[in-house]
Amino acid sequence: MKSRRLIISLGILAITLCAQVLITKSTAKSATRFTVRIENISSADGQVASDGSKWPFALSPGMFVLNDKNVLFTEGKPAKANGLEAQAEDGNPSGLIASLETMHHAGALHGLYNTPVGAMGPGPIGPGGAYEFSFTATPKMKLYLAMMFGQSNDLFYAPDANGIGLFDAQGNPISGDVTDKLVLWDAGTEVNEEVGIGPNQAPRQQMPNTGPTENGVVHRAKDVRLYGKNGELFRVTVTAENGQ
């Protein structure tokens, strides 16, 4: 009888340990901490305008959101009244964040990145500068983010409707360079001037939200000289915690 009880006890212990291992593995796959680093790798000598002057490429403070679809904008449609205009024209992400809060989007699943690494306060990143931010995500979540092409009227970088995948088909977290996942978009809210020298662009305008209204739609900025040249200007990497 004692032998039988011992066998049963050992069996129960083995089942319990197996269950704990499975739970641990499941938890590891269902929640992973990620860090995103955005680096301005453009030339310190600047970009050359048509008039021969030079201007520095810069990225504005931005925001991110974890979701299964793009809630920030729809390609081919006018910019939503959700703060996208302020992000694209003035590099101000606060309106987009406020819009998500109005939608009762979970606070842990969105946020700002506005202070360059090593800086004391918020600001854009010029050549050599970087932003970093972290979050915890679960499989099937996608990363969406937005940041202004600083020397423009209403251009911004963001993924397309597919977002940036954080897990593979088996639910394993992915790390790597995702620079090519970002697209240069035109918000269609302000008439474009030549990038880098326009008087109504953020570095030169007298106050935010100035410049002729365009009344257009969000579209890919294929007519801009630097469209498709992400790798010459900036680098975005996603790193899963513990190198997963």
β-pairing, 182-186 with 54-55?
unpaired
The structure tokens 């690494």 sit at: 117
The burial class, CB within 10 Å (0-12 / 13-18 / 19+), for 208 is exposed
Predicted pLDDT of residue 211: 84
Summarize pLDDT for 12-41 with one digit per residue, the tens: 444 444 444 333 344 445 799 999 999 999
Helix (H) or strand (E) holding 14: helix 2-30
Model confidence pTM above 0.95: no
Taking a C-beta distance cutoff of 8 angstroms, is the pair 141, 173 a contact?
no
CA distances from 135 to 35, 126, 165, 200, 222 (A): 7, 24, 14, 35, 32
Confidence of residue 210 (pLDDT cuts 50, 70, 90): confident
Mean pLDDT estimate for the chain: 88
Predicted pLDDT of residue 29: 57
Q: What is the mean pLDDT of residues 67-75?
A: 94
Determine the Cα–Cα distance for residues 211 and 164; give it in Å rounded to an integer. 32
Q: What is the mean pLDDT of residues 142-165?
A: 97
CA-nearest of 82, 73, 214 to 152 is: 214
Summarize pLDDT for 88-128 with one digit per residue, the tens: 999 999 999 999 999 989 888 999 999 999 999 999 999 99
Determine the Cα–Cα distance for residues 100 and 74; give it in Å rounded to an integer. 16
Q: What is the mean pLDDT of residues 138-167?
A: 96
Strand partners, 32: 137
Predicted pLDDT of residue 207: 82
Residue 93, phi then psi, degrees to nearest 5: -85, 0
Residues contacting 192, CB < 8 A, separation 6+: 152, 153, 154, 155, 186, 198, 214, 224
Predicted pLDDT of residue 212: 85
Residue 184 in this model has a pLDDT that exceeds 90:
yes
Helix (H) or strand (E) holding 54: strand 54-55
Confidence of residue 202 (pLDDT cuts 50, 70, 90): confident
